[in-house]
């Protein structure tokens, strides 16, 4: 059993698949803390978790034209300036289960919890690439990452990001060795993973073994044959993966974590909670909440860390204390967020449905009963 050596996991997680391990925190725990505690941070593994020895670990770095190769131990990585930032990581498949309700899709049935937030610390990728003699010259190049997790045939997890993002010090791409002040947990990439702020989870390669500057995107399955969006009319017979770009930055997202669908709430006043986030460093400027299915709206209160313009890498949590209209027997609670480019979430799922069930960011809807 290639999974026999996987780590022990927290009991509170809702497990979507055991081998490979995929799990999300229940909604009420997800927004209990602004920073997600490591043991309940969502986990998305495609392969068995490798068991790496920090003493013999080496990261191979291959600079582009004019550059050279480096083989870095953990101690070598610690010598680069240590950079620490709060970053929200979201899987492209977050909220996929809502797409399944429209029409069947291929993928794990994530609910609203394939998203979490941590303080990450490590070396900046641009500093490491500079030491490999790399200078930004080829604007069309890519930085490819390879994980040390592999299937029985030896295929490893891989992904890439554009070189321009990797070399931009303001983009703060990290080779992270700490998560919330601790060494990375095994499930989250021990000893080193990539953190690409504002970019889809799939590019945050865990158990990082190799970084290289290449003229083309990664040839990995997960870069070229997955994690792409298509029109609702494209099916598995007609899909042409080469016709769509790989997902990088993600669209604006929000969800309700309390109350939950089907719950009964007290009459009088109801407290509604959730999260909101947008990709590419775009800040959340507003979260609108409706109790009547979207006819009328109130503005939620945002809390958590202040967001920096163009570098809003982490989510805001939000809350609304609302009066339950007298005599109301049920509520159709809806939330939608607006980012600082005034991007909004689509109102329904059907027009954004796609065969892989990615980029599911329609208004989040929760139906509750009111106690009489
Ligand atoms: N890196 C490796 N090596 N193997 C993986 O399976 N999964 C990716 C990414 N990095 C993956 C990986 C995906 S799809 C996501 S969403 C994030 O890791 C999840 O990171 P987490 O498990 O720390 O939440
Ligand atoms: Mo993912």
Q: What is the mean pLDDT of residues 250-267?
A: 98
* pLDDT band (50, 70, 90) for residue 250: very high
**234 Cβ partners below 8 Å, 6+ apart?**
354, 355
pLDDT higher than threshold 80 for residue 2? yes
Rounded distance from Cα 305 to ligand 1 centre (Å): 25
**344 Cβ partners below 8 Å, 6+ apart?**
252, 336, 337, 338
Residue 219, token pair as written in the block: 């040839």
Q: Is the CB of 43 under 6 A from ligand 1?
A: yes
* pLDDT band (50, 70, 90) for residue 136: low
Q: Is the CB of 227 under 6 A from ligand 1?
A: no
Rounded distance from Cα 89 to ligand 2 centre (Å): 9
Give the atom of ligand 1 at the shortest distance from the alpha carbon of 227: 14
Tell me the ligand closest to 96's alpha carbon: 2
Q: pLDDT tens digit string along 39-65?
A: 999 999 999 999 999 999 999 999 887
Q: Is the CB of 157 under 6 A from ligand 1?
A: yes
Task: Supply the CATH classification number for the domain 253-370.
Answer: 2.60.40.650
| CATH topology for the 14-243 domain | Sulfite Oxidase; Chain A, domain 2 (3.90.420)
Q: What share of the chain has pLDDT > 90, as a percent?
A: 96
Which residue, judged by its Cα, is nearest atom 9 of ligand 1? 202
Domain ranges of the chain: 14-243, 253-370
Give the pLDDT score at 55: 98
Give the pLDDT score at 138: 67
Rounded distance from Cα 52 to ligand 1 centre (Å): 16
Q: Is the CB of 356 under 6 A from ligand 1?
A: no
Give CA–CA dist 350/359, Å, rounded.
12
Q: pLDDT tens digit string along 227-238?
A: 999 999 999 999
Give the pLDDT score at 40: 98
Which residue, judged by its Cα, is nearest atom 12 of ligand 1? 205
Complex ipTM value: 1.00
Which residue, judged by its Cα, is nearest atom 22 of ligand 1? 43
pLDDT higher than threshold 80 for residue 243? yes
Which residue, judged by its Cα, is nearest atom 4 of ligand 1? 157
Q: Is the CB of 147 under 6 A from ligand 1?
A: yes
Contact between residue 143 and residue 125 where contact means Cβ atoms under 8 Å apart: yes
How do beta strands 59-62 and 208-214 pair?
Answer: parallel
Give the pLDDT score at 64: 80
Rounded distance from Cα 358 to ligand 1 centre (Å): 15
Rounded distance from Cα 213 to ligand 1 centre (Å): 21
pLDDT higher than threshold 80 for residue 293? yes
């Amino acid at each position: 059993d290639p999974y026999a050596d996987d780590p022990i996991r927290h009991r509170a997680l809702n497990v979507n698949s055991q081998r490979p391990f995929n799990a999300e925190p229940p909604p009420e725990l997800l927004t209990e803390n602004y920073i997600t505690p490591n043991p309940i941070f969502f986990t998305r593994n495609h392969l068995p978790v490798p068991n790496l020895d920090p003493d013999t670990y080496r990261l191979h770095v291959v600079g582009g034209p004019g550059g050279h190769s480096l083989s870095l131990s953990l101690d070598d990585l610690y010598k680069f300036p240590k950079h620490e930032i709060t970053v929200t990581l979201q899987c492209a498949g977050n909220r996929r289960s809502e797409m399944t309700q429209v029409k069947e899709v291929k993928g794990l049935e994530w609910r609203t919890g394939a998203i979490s937030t941590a303080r990450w610390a490590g070396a900046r990728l641009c500093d490491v690439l500079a030491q490999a003699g790399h200078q930004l010259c080829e604007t069309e190049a890519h930085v490819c990452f390879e994980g040390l997790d592999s299937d029985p045939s030896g295929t490893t997890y891989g992904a890439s990001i554009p070189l321009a993002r990797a070399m931009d010090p303001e983009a703060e791409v990290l080779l992270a060795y700490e998560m919330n002040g601790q060494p990375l947990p095994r499930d989250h990439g021990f000893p080193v993973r990539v953190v690409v702020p504002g970019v889809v989870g799939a590019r945050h390669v865990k158990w990082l073994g190799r970084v290289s500057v290449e003229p083309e995107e990664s040839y990995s399955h997960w870069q070229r044959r997955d994690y792409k969006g298509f029109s609702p009319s494209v099916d598995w017979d007609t899909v042409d993966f080469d016709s769509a770009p790989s997902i990088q930055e993600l669209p604006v997202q929000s969800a309700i974590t309390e109350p939950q669908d089907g719950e009964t709430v007290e009459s009088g006043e109801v407290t509604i909670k959730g999260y909101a986030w947008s990709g590419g460093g775009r800040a959340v400027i507003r979260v609108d909440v409706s109790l009547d299915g979207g006819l009328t709206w109130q503005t939620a209160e945002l809390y958590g860390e202040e967001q920096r313009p163009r570098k809003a890498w982490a989510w805001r949590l939000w809350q609304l204390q609302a009066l339950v209209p007298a005599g109301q027997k049920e509520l159709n609670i809806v939330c939608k967020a607006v980012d600082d480019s005034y991007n909004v979430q689509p109102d329904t799922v059907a027009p954004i449905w796609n065969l892989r069930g990615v980029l599911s960011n329609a208004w989040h809807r929760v139906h509750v009963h009111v106690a009489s």
